[in-house]
Amino acid sequence: MAILPILCYPDPRLHTVAKPVVAVDERVRQLTQDMLDTMYEAHGIGLAATQVDVHERIVVIDVSEERNRPLILINPEILWASDERLVGDEGCLSVPGIYDGVERSVRVHVRAMDAQGKEAIIEAEELLAVCIQHEMDHLLGKVFVEYLSPLKRNRIRSKMLKRQREELL
């Protein structure tokens, strides 16, 4: 079990676009396990490889109450997103303590591989659909605060930088 360091906004590495995974091998399987361990340790429901400074298209998610239904998405691709949308408060392990409203599709269909390299189509709705969209944004180098107004985004950026400076003291 390895707990990986999570990049915090506004770290510029969070804006790196992830590259596709070429082969699902033991290295990738170990990374997904480390990402799950990191996500559970941080009490999150999703984590993208970008957030742990690995710029490959890998996402781990577990929205179950029991925290025992991990979902691994390798090279995820949204095939369909509903026109029906909702605004929900989102948070992010890379922006700790900050929550704000983001509009997302209520349902999505996603094609991805699992940790064995088996491809599947996942039909997700509500919290799982929102989580998938949020984590896939990370793979594109986008953090949820970028959906907010410039004023809010600048306030969050200042708050995060101040917190990082205080942690160094």
What domains are there in the chain, each with its CATH number?
12-168 (3.90.45.10)
Positions at the binding site for Fe cation: 92, 134, 138
Supply the residues annotated as catalytic.
Answer: 135
pLDDT-derived band at 1, boundaries 50, 70, 90: confident
DSSP 143: -
Instruction: Give residue-wise pLDDT tens across range 48-106.
Output: 999 999 999 999 999 999 999 999 999 999 999 999 999 999 999 999 999 999 999 99
**Of 38, 131, 149, which is closest to residue 88 (Cα–Cα)?**
131
**Of 116, 2, 114, 94, which is closest to residue 50 (Cα–Cα)?**
94
Question: Average pLDDT of 20-39?
Answer: 98
Give this prediction's pTM.
0.96
What local confidence, expressed as pLDDT, does residue 167 receive? 86
